[in-house]
Amino acid sequence: MVRRLPLDEPGVADARTPWRFLGWMLRGQWQTIAAGMFFGVVWMTCSAVVPAIIGKAIDTGITGRSTSELWKWAGILFAVGILQSTTGIMRHRFAVTNWLTAAYRVVQLVSRQATHLGATLAKRVATGEVVAIGTNDLSHIGNAMDVLARAMGALVSFIVVAVILLQTSTTLGLAVLLGVPVLLLLLGPILSPLQDRNLKQRDMMGGLANISTDIVSGLRVLRGIGGERVFSERYRVESQRVRQAGVEVAKLQSVLDALQVFLPGVFVVVVVWLGARFAVQDKITPGELVAFYGYAAFLVLPLRTATEAANKWIRAYVAARRIVKVLALEPEIDDAAGASAITAPPLDSELIDLTSTLVVEPGRLTALVSEPPADAALVVDRLGRFIEGDVLWGGVRLSMLPRALVRERIVVSDTNALLFAGHLGDQLAGVRRGTADIADVLSRALHAAAAADVLNALPEGLDSEVAEKGRSFSGGQRQRLVLARALALEPEVLLLVEPTSAVDAHTEARIADRLVEMRRGRTTVITTSSPLMLACADVVAFLDDGVVRAVGTHADLLAHCPAYRAVVTRAEVEDAGVAR
């Protein structure tokens, strides 16, 4: 079976408990797991019957001095070897398929959940936890699915060997049938503390990933205030704690690994000793004695496989606990009951924020000015439904509309928007990748954002790779590229928070003129206190204490609203100081 990865649809996970999640993962790929188990059973059963075949060859061919019997059993052994090789290859192929399918499914589930949660994810789950899922936990889930084929083969081959031994010698058969479970029980007391130590280490690794993420994201700031050494020392201390936790896990793991060798070794000695006594007493034949030794040696493999499976499923359980924690989260903003049945507002509908009394007229560029600026940003969050609020859109409450519809028709781009690592052209194109007019749209968006020079400076242009969070660009370059990305979507309603705060006055003037031209006839809202941007707006709304106090053109408000004039004039002076 050939499976295309990533999966077209990872499904809806059962995230109620870790064991339910692991069971759901099993059901999601049961066909390949069943196929892997089938080939694993045949592969290991072939190994289990080899001692019996050799024993028959000795008794009938060598001891019985029959060349034909010897050739017959040699031929059977050769056929079994071919079958074992073939099924071993197939078992391995399905094991890899099961590992990759499980790993990809985890990545897709967590990625989809991150998209679904939006801003809620960063508030509820530390960045390090998400990073740890993508780097460690998916491997443990994959390992659990991978080992199932060999675990089933180990179980069936153990039963086959026990049956063969019971038919030859009841004593030896019972020794095997009872001895193997006893050995597994002897390993049991180690598994529980091993799970606890794994859980502790996993928690500490997530915390360490959080610290490293904080350091990397704020490296420039830390250097500026001299805090780089303090944070690096904190990271060093925490990493040593994680290392010590890893050592504690390794101590138990080493004991478990040693017992996996020692206990089966003792078992082999006991079985061989019993077999030798029976051979001396003529209770079994020389061929059967050789076969018994082969069985005892072979049973080491099922025993090790059983303990390996238990170990990997413990780790998978620990990983699943973290994964279900993320998958069980619900976004702070979600669809209301019956939202899908609400008729979507027609194009060019009026937006009204009842809390601030702001009216956004369709097809016009509206600028918001407030002191502090966060009040205007709060209005934008309500208009874009990133927080709940009393907002009407074409007479329909925004909270009653499907969130996907709002995100499709109303786009918000704020000062915290980032560039992701990857292909620059793909990022700027966004959801419009592959459309016929994307090249023209990107060209116009880059021109409007005054970002063409940024693109021209890159040797590979749109084919360039972007570093994480766009760190390869300056603050002004990142801001212009983020603006170009928002403009390239050509949304019905575009909400921009301080889109030119990191650029110089000359660049800002170009952006203001070009933005008006590109967004002509479409609804646009900008929060800003820059006179250059405000002069280009169709209408300016001044907010005081979060409520609209004055509405008009920039020139009108400068002439008739002293509070507005004070805010804008102060911003103009500050900008001039920065320019100097």
When pLDDT is averaged across residues 46-66 and rounded to a whole number, the result is 85
With contact defined as beta carbons under 8 Å apart, do 21 and 13 qualify? yes
Predicted confidence (pLDDT) at residue 39 exceeds the cutoff of 80: yes
Predicted confidence (pLDDT) at residue 226 exceeds the cutoff of 70: no
With contact defined as beta carbons under 8 Å apart, do 208 and 239 qualify? yes
With contact defined as beta carbons under 8 Å apart, do 430 and 438 qualify? no
Supply the pLDDT for residue 252.
Answer: 72
Most confident of 63-67, 234-238, 340-344: 63-67
Distance in angstroms (rounded) separating the CA atoms of residues 240 and 229: 16
Q: In the sheet where 539-544 sits, what is the strand order?
A: 410-413, 493-497, 523-527, 365-370, 539-544, 547-552
| Beta strand pairing call for 493-497 and 422-423 | unpaired
> DSSP of 336-371, one letter per residue?
PTTGGGSPPPPSS--EEETTTTEEE-TTSEEEEEES
Phi/psi at 190 (5° precision) = -85, -30
Cβ neighbours, 10 Å, residue 68: 9
Q: How confident is the model at residue 92 (pLDDT cuts 50, 70, 90)?
A: very high
When pLDDT is averaged across residues 338-347 and rounded to a whole number, the result is 77
Which CATH class name applies to 339-579? alpha beta
Q: Read off the tokens for 217.
A: 């994201």
Q: Read off the tokens for 530.
A: 């820059």
Distance in angstroms (rounded) separating the CA atoms of residues 253 and 135: 21
With contact defined as beta carbons under 8 Å apart, do 137 and 322 qualify? yes
Determine the CATH number of domain 18-327.
1.20.1560.10
Supply the pLDDT for residue 190.
Answer: 63
Distance in angstroms (rounded) separating the CA atoms of residues 386 and 406: 10
> DSSP of 275-325, one letter per residue?
HHHHHHTTSS-HHHHHHHHHHHHHTHHHHHHHHHHHHHHHHHHHHHHHHHH
Residue (of 563, 486, 578) closest to 525 by Cα position: 486
Q: How confident is the model at residue 462 (pLDDT cuts 50, 70, 90)?
A: confident
Q: Is 481 helix (H, G, I), strand (E, B) or coil?
A: helix
Supply the pLDDT for residue 222.
Answer: 43
Q: Is 222 helix (H, G, I), strand (E, B) or coil?
A: helix
Predicted confidence (pLDDT) at residue 305 exceeds the cutoff of 90: no
When pLDDT is averaged across residues 360-374 and rounded to a whole number, the result is 93
Name 118's bridge partners.
none
When pLDDT is averaged across residues 553-558 and rounded to a whole number, the result is 94
Q: 126-173 pLDDT, tens per residue?
A: 666 676 677 778 888 999 999 999 999 988 988 888 788 778 777 777
> DSSP of 503-523, one letter per residue?
S-HHHHHHHHHHHHHHTTTSE
Residue (of 344, 399, 354, 403) closest to 379 by Cα position: 354
Q: Read off the tokens for 552.
A: 């008009």
Q: How confident is the model at residue 509 (pLDDT cuts 50, 70, 90)?
A: very high
Residue 344: left (phi > 0), alpha (psi -120 to 50), or beta? Answer: beta
Phi/psi at 105 (5° precision) = -65, -40
Q: Read off the tokens for 241.
A: 């704690």
Distance in angstroms (rounded) separating the CA atoms of residues 530 and 508: 9
Predicted confidence (pLDDT) at residue 342 exceeds the cutoff of 80: no
Which runs of consecutive H residues, i.e. helices, occur in 218-285? 219-225, 228-280
Q: How many residues does the chain have?
A: 580
Considering the entire predicted model, what is its pTM?
A: 0.66
- Cα dihedral sign, 7-12-16-22: negative
Supply the pLDDT for residue 572.
Answer: 59
CA-to-CA dists, residue 484 to 62, 436, 458, 480, 487, angstroms: 84, 18, 16, 6, 5
Contacts of 116-122 with C-beta under 8 Å, sequence gap 24+, read 116/331, 117/329, 117/330, 117/331, 118/331, 118/333, 118/386, 119/332, 119/386, 120/329, 120/330, 120/331, 120/332, 120/333, 121/326, 121/329
> In the chain, what percentage of residues exceed pLDDT 70?
83
Distance in angstroms (rounded) separating the CA atoms of residues 192 and 213: 32
Predicted confidence (pLDDT) at residue 579 exceeds the cutoff of 60: no
Q: How confident is the model at residue 311 (pLDDT cuts 50, 70, 90)?
A: confident
Q: What is the DSSP letter of 388?
A: -
Predicted confidence (pLDDT) at residue 7 exceeds the cutoff of 90: no
Q: In the sheet where 358-360 sits, what is the strand order?
A: 358-360, 351-353, 391-393, 396-397
Predicted confidence (pLDDT) at residue 81 exceeds the cutoff of 80: yes
Distance in angstroms (rounded) separating the CA atoms of residues 203 and 556: 59
Amino acid at 68: S
Distance in angstroms (rounded) separating the CA atoms of residues 165 and 49: 11
Q: 416-449 pLDDT, tens per residue?
A: 777 777 778 888 887 666 676 788 888 999 999 9
Q: Is 187 helix (H, G, I), strand (E, B) or coil?
A: helix
Residue (of 524, 502, 518) closest to 412 by Cα position: 524
Angle between helices 18-28 and 300-327 (to 10 degrees): 110
Residue given tokens 């002439």 in the structure block: 559
The chain-wide mean pLDDT, for the chain, equals 82
Name 358's bridge partners.
353
Domain ranges of the chain: 18-327, 339-579
Supply the pLDDT for residue 231.
Answer: 60
- Which residues fall within 8 angstroms of residue 92, CB to CB, at 6 or more apart? none
